Each structure stands twice: as structure tokens, then as C-alpha cells.
Amino acid sequence: MMTTAVPPVAPGALPYDDAEMPLALVQAKTRRLVLRVIWTSTAFLVVAGILGLLLRLRQAEVITLGDNFWYAVMTAHGLGAFIAWAGFFLMGITFWVLMKVGLPIRSFVLPEVMYWSMVLGVIGIVLTTLLSGFGGSWVFLYPLPFNSAGQWSDMVTGVFSISVLLAGVSILAYCSAVLHTCIGPGLKAKTDTVGQRVGLTFGFGLLFPSRFKTDRGKIPYPVLPFAVNAVDMFLATLPFALLLVFQVIESVNNGFSINVLLAGNLLWAFGHPVVYLLLFPAAATYYYLIPRYAGRELVAGKAVAVAWLIALTMNLFVWAHHLYMNYPDGENVQQTLGTIMQPTTYALVLPSALSLYSIAATIWRSDFQWNVASKFLIAGIVSWLVAGLQGIINATAAFQETLHNTLWVVGHFHNMAFLNMGLLIFGAMYAFLPELMGRGWWNERLGSWHLWGTVIGAYGWVTCQMIQGLEGAPRRWAVLPEQYLTLTHISVGFLALLVAAQLVFAYNLWTTLRKSPFDDPGAAMQGGTQR
Amino acid sequence: MMTSLGTGIAVGYLIFVALGLIISFAVLWSTRAGRRDKGQGVDVERAEKAEPWWGVFVVGLLAILLGLTIWRAPWFTENDDPKDVQVQVTGIQFGFLVQPTQVKAGEDVEFNVTSKDVNHAMGLYNPQGQMIMNVEAIPGYTISRSYRFTEPGTYEIRCLEFCGYKHHEMIYPAFQVTA
């Protein structure tokens, strides 16, 4: 029986289609900015992907790489894939989704700072790793950057730290731009004060509708994860920036040093929340796109608002689960942090669990529109569930003696980052690029090949890594012990399929850019294709 | 080969993944009916009202897992009882200093693990290649971890915390457990 609580939208009017659009000039500038980020981050993916392939080929003894070069490649791959591709892409697409829900960029200064500082930072990271040999891994666990065993100099560590700092500046600029955009007039607070705008931005309008009123009826749900992520990443980047500044100082002053445990805590105060730099904008993009394909509003209410408030607070108090195994004798603070941060990490399951419920309820018995974009999104959502279950295991201190620093962890974060956020990114490209480019995709069937090749190839590869991890295979080993070689070889077969699928995607994209004459952005929004 | 804990984790994980996939498939399958009735045949208000209960259910499951596991955190499972043997393990790029290098099966052994330069970790592997212990080696700090060996043989210590360009060669191949 139909009710009116969350009505399906009228035929032809999809969720958020009623959002007020900004002036054509703002739309055009936003389109150019977002496209620039998409192309740049995709170029970073190409480089990071090739580097990742080299890593696994070396482990499979298919190719040879110098030991330190392997670790330098590992460092560049980690930062390149996580921050420069996935993080950067989602930072860019944020502004497109926000505009589509009626919150256009209010100033382009901060997004431009975001873009250029990320590009400069990535260039610095590439130079210091691949050319100057910095191979401290993407977490560069202090004091390793200053104990390279003769492989790189302290000065290289300093330049590397400045480069990562630039990526941090990019994240800070992004967070500031998102908050500046969200806490603006777009949410149409009835009483237009900063307090009302802030309240609406963080979901208080859903919890207390009589106190936080808006002329829009209900605030667009994608705003919640975007805004929560902006606050959390702003706060989480600051201690990390402090660590990087310390490293820059030490690179020019050998007498300076910091406590090892403090450095670890500063690192992970950023190093875990940065996962949500990807996951929360991904959740927001699901919130935007899934209702459009399902043809009804997101099925959500107060519970989702509560979940995002939990995320807002708990996200900043989970870092110590990366340090579960650092519990020195007599150092009770670290042990206490570990005890506290298992339940706080569990609390972060709620935003995911409730989001997955909302998305499932939105899809349930809907007249769902199946196309390449929506199939990618569905595959990403299922991966969100699968990788989330792995995350609960990883958050459990008692399991760490078996899992910590094994390939299980590597398999998990590739499952989450590539098979959830990565598939969302491809889905967003299939969904948004037709409108952004003004032309539809060249070939739907090639898109399906891309999907199946990516899903089968990537799941085969990460499953091999996770089994190896459960068998005790150490992570970050250029050469794995003999006992793990069979699964490494099998995973290379799956990686070959994954690479082939990306080549199909590249061909489809290239052909689309060169040949597709389709020029109907409105229709193309739903993933229009030529053939 | 996995340890019993590793096998338990794998089985538990696979059960929940299977449940998740079944639910996911059911949701996607329901869109066939949705196509027939143009998405009008569902009570979305009921689904919205049920969402908090789903949240409560998830919190309940997590609370159970927390209650079952938090007491097994490594820092809670150590005690101050005197041990039969103290083994000092010191990581240094790119090797382990181990003293003594031999213990007897059945003895309570306490490993005192530290590092002289960067972070390392002691991964202890039994003769079957299973990892049975995982302890961080932090410069300036010591972590103590106890173990009672039941099986004689040659055990291997591998570095599990990335420590530089010869990290994968940081192996102590011959920690002996005698009968």
C-alpha cells in the first residue's frame, strides 16, 4: 500500500530535479572545474594502477625490480591510488553533486587551491619516490623516514613531507569549500542565521523540524555526509600536518626528534579518517544517484541523521585501532586508547549500516533503471557491505595477532577503496560524464565488459590477498616467502583481467570523446549511450 | 595454512558475507516486481519507521561482539606471573638479535621485544609456517608477550612492520624449541 511519507516522485520528475540551479556562468565554471579534476585524477589512476601492477608482478617473480625501488613504487602507488585518484576524484565530484541538489559553489578560490595544491603535491610525491628513492611507504612510520639505511637523504624526506603537506592543504581547502558551500543560502533556512544554516547542514532539520525550518521541505540527504566529512577531515588533517612539519624541521636539523608513539598517534589521527575522505563523499553520491535510478526519494529519516552525527564525533576518536599492537609495558595510555577505540570504531559501523538500509529500501520493489552506471553503483554498494564486514573484523583487537600487518589488511582496503569507492567512481563517470561532456557514452556493451572484468578481476585478486593474509603472509614484502607463491600467481591472472577491463574502459572513453556526436545532456544524465 | 583463529575468522566472515549476498540478491530481485507495478507497491513509510530498529539490531550485534572479544585484546591477556624463560628479541635494520635462541617445549616463555632503530615487528612462525605470534618492536619501548610452546621444532621470526629496503630479508630462521 502506498503512503505519502516518502512519496515516489511524479513521473518525469526525479529526486532533486526541483533544486534551484545557479546562473549559467556558475554552472559552466563548475562543469569545467569538475571535468578538470576528473581527467587529472584519472591520469593519476593510470600511473598508480601501473605501479600497483608492477608491485604484484614482482611478488609473483614475473619481473625484477630493485629492492628500494619496489618500496618507492609501493609508496607512490599507495598515495597515488588513495589520495590522488580516489580522494581527488570524489573531492571534485562533490561540487557537481552539491550543485545538482541546489548548493552551487559560492567561491571558486578554495576549489582552485584544492586543485593546484593537490597537483603540485602529487608531482612532489612522484619525484621524491620514483626519482629520489623515498620508499618509506605511504604511512612513512616515524622514524623510518630518517633511517633509510642509505637509500635516500633527510633532505628527500623533507621535500616528500612538504609534498604530502601540499596534498593536506588541498584537503583543507576542499573541506573549507564544502562547508562554505553547504552553510550558505542554498538550504533556505526560514530564519536565515548561521546557527540555523549549520543546524540544517548537519541534519538537525531532520531531527527537530520545528526548530530548524527550511523552505525546501527536507534538506537533500547528500549534504549530510559531505558536511560531516568536511568537518572531520579538516580537524583530522591538522595533527597530521603537525607531524609533517616536525619531519620538515628534522630534515634540516638533525638534533630535532619526536617521540615514536606520539608520531604514530599523530599519523593515525589522520590516517584512519582519511578513509572517510573517500567513503563519505561516496555515500553522498550514492544518496544522490540511487534515488534517481529508483525513481523515488531516499527512504531515510531521523535515524540517518543520528548516524551521521555519530560519524561526525566518533570519526575523530578511532585512530588507535591502527595501534592495537603498540602496547608497551607500563605504557597504559596506549592500552587505554586501544580499549576505548574498539567500541568507538564499532560505532562507525552505524552510518554504513543505516545508509545500506536506506539504499536497499529505496531500491526495494522500485521500477529501477538498469544501465551501466547503475550496475556499477550496485556492485559498489554490495562491496561496501562486504568490505564493511571485514572492517568490523579489523576493528577487533583480539583478532590482530592473526591479521595485523598481513596481506588480509591489504586485501581489505583494496576491497573497500577499489571495489566500493572505485566502482562508485566508475559509476559516477558513466552517470555524470554524458552531462558534463555534452555527449553520451559510445558503447553500452563495452561498459558492461568493463563492469564484469573489473568486478571479477578485482575480487579474484583481493580474495587471494585476504587468504594469504589469513595464512600469515606479511604485507609490504617485495619478495614473499615461497609458501605464498601459488596464490600470488593466481592473483596475477585476475589482475590481467582487471587490466584488460580498464583498457576496454579507456577505449570506450577515448572513442566517446572522439566520435560520439550525441549532444543531449539532459537525456544523457541517465547514462545515455550511442549503441 | 591458517591457524585456528584465522579459520574461525574466515568462517564467521563467510557466513555474514553469504547472508549479505542473499539479502542483496533479494533486494535486486524485487525490482522485477517493481517494474510490473511501476514502483507503487511498497509501503515506504513502514520501511522508514523500521530503520531505527535495524540500527538497534546492528548495535546489539556489535555489543555482543565487543563483549566477547574485548577481554581477549593482547594487553588484557598478559599477566605478571613469573615465566620459566625470558627471551630478549631486538630488531635492528635488517635482522633480529635473539637471546637465548633455544627453549624447551612446555616452558612458559616471555618474549621481550624492542628495537634499536626504527619500528619492526616480531612475527613468529611455527614449523608448519603458521603465524602464532605478532608483536611490535618499538624503539625505546618494550612489549612483553608470553607463549607456551607445545611442539618442538625450528621456528622462524619474520619482520612484520615495514622497516626499509631489506624488510623482506629481515628473518631470523632458527629459533629452536626442543623436546
Residue holding cell 591489504?
A410
At A11 the pLDDT is 46
Which helix (DSSP H) or strand (DSSP E) does residue B132 occupy? strand B131-137
Q: Is B124 on the interface with A (CB under 8 A)?
A: no
Identify the DSSP state of A83: I
List CB contacts (< 8 A) between A147 and chain B: 93, 117-118, 164
Cα–Cα distance, A79 to A270 (Å, whole number)? 14
Q: Is A478 on the interface with B (CB under 8 A)?
A: yes
DSSP string, A478-511: SS--GGGHHHHHHHHHHHHHHHHHHHHHHHHHHH
Q: Is A242 on the interface with B (CB under 8 A)?
A: no
Residue-wise pLDDT tens digits, B40-98? 888 888 999 999 999 999 999 999 999 999 999 999 998 888 899 999 999 999 999 99
Beta-carbon separation of A400 and B121 below 8 A:
no
Q: Is A135 on the interface with B (CB under 8 A)?
A: yes
Cα–Cα distance, B145 to A262 (Å, whole number)? 22
Question: Which residues partner with B121 through β-bridges?
Answer: B136
3-class state of residue B81 by DSSP: coil
At A237 the pLDDT is 93
Ranges of chain A with pLDDT below 70: 1-13, 516-531
Question: Which residues partner with B135 through β-bridges?
Answer: B122
List CB contacts (< 8 A) between B170 and chain A: none
In A, minimum Cα distance to B47 occurs at A361
Q: Pick from A327, A385, A402: which is nearest to B3 by CB?
A: A402
Q: Could you tell me the domains of chain A? A: 19-285+298-365 (1.20.210.10), 369-531 (no CATH)
DSSP string, A325-374: T---TT-HHHHHHHHHHHHHHHHTHHHHHHHHHHHHHHHTT-----SHHH
Per-chain mean pLDDT for chain B:
95
For chain A, what is the radius of gyration of the CA atoms?
Answer: 23
In A, minimum Cα distance to B74 occurs at A398
Residues in chain B: 179
Cα–Cα distance, A315 to A301 (Å, whole number)? 21
Cα–Cα distance, A503 to A505 (Å, whole number)? 5
Beta-carbon separation of A354 and B51 below 8 A:
yes
CA A394, chain centre distance (Å): 18
B178 CA to chain A: closest CA distance, Å? 24
Beta-carbon separation of B165 and A68 below 8 A:
yes
Interface predicted TM-score (ipTM) of this complex, two decimals: 0.96
In A, minimum Cα distance to B93 occurs at A149
Report whether A485 contacts A61 (CB < 8 A). yes
A413 CA to chain B: closest CA distance, Å? 16
Task: List B residues 100-119 in contact with A (Cβ-Cβ < 8 A).
Answer: 117-119
Cα–Cα distance, A423 to A285 (Å, whole number)? 12
List CB contacts (< 8 A) between B74 and chain A: 324-325, 327, 397-398, 400-401
Beta-carbon separation of B44 and A7 below 8 A:
yes
Least Cα distance to A316 among A265, A261, A263 occurs for: A265
Q: Is A530 on the interface with B (CB under 8 A)?
A: no
Report whether A54 contacts A128 (CB < 8 A). no
Task: For strands B85-92 and B143-148, give the pairing.
Answer: unpaired
Beta-carbon separation of A401 and B30 below 8 A:
no
Q: Is A340 on the interface with B (CB under 8 A)?
A: no
Residue-wise pLDDT tens digits, A420-443? 999 999 999 999 999 999 888 989
List CB contacts (< 8 A) between A329 and chain B: 141-144
Residue-wise pLDDT tens digits, B25-54? 999 999 999 999 988 888 888 999 999 999
Report whether B41 contacts B33 (CB < 8 A). yes
Q: Say what the alpha-carbon torsion angle A41, A44, A50, A51 is, to the nearest 10 degrees.
A: -130
- Work out the burial of residue B4: count CB atoms within 10 Å of its CB; fewer than 13 is exposed, 13-18 middle, 19 or more buried: exposed
At A217 the pLDDT is 79
At A301 the pLDDT is 84
Report whether A95 contacts A33 (CB < 8 A). yes
Q: Is B80 on the interface with A (CB under 8 A)?
A: no
3-class state of residue A22 by DSSP: coil
Beta-carbon separation of A382 and B117 below 8 A:
no
Q: Is B135 on the interface with A (CB under 8 A)?
A: yes
Task: List A residues 196-225 in contact with B (Cβ-Cβ < 8 A).
Answer: none
Q: Pick from A3, A141, A366: which is nearest to B39 by CB?
A: A366
Q: Pick from B42, B130, B159: which is nearest to A472 by CB?
A: B130
Cα–Cα distance, A286 to A383 (Å, whole number)? 13
Q: Pick from B51, B93, B121: which is nearest to A358 by CB?
A: B51
In B, minimum Cα distance to A70 occurs at B165
A114 CA to chain B: closest CA distance, Å? 31
The mean pLDDT of B10-16, rounded to a whole number, is 97
Task: List A residues 342-401 in contact with B (Cβ-Cβ < 8 A).
Answer: 342-343, 346, 349-350, 353-354, 357-358, 360-361, 363-368, 370, 378, 381-382, 385-386, 389-390, 392-393, 396-401
Q: Is B158 on the interface with A (CB under 8 A)?
A: yes
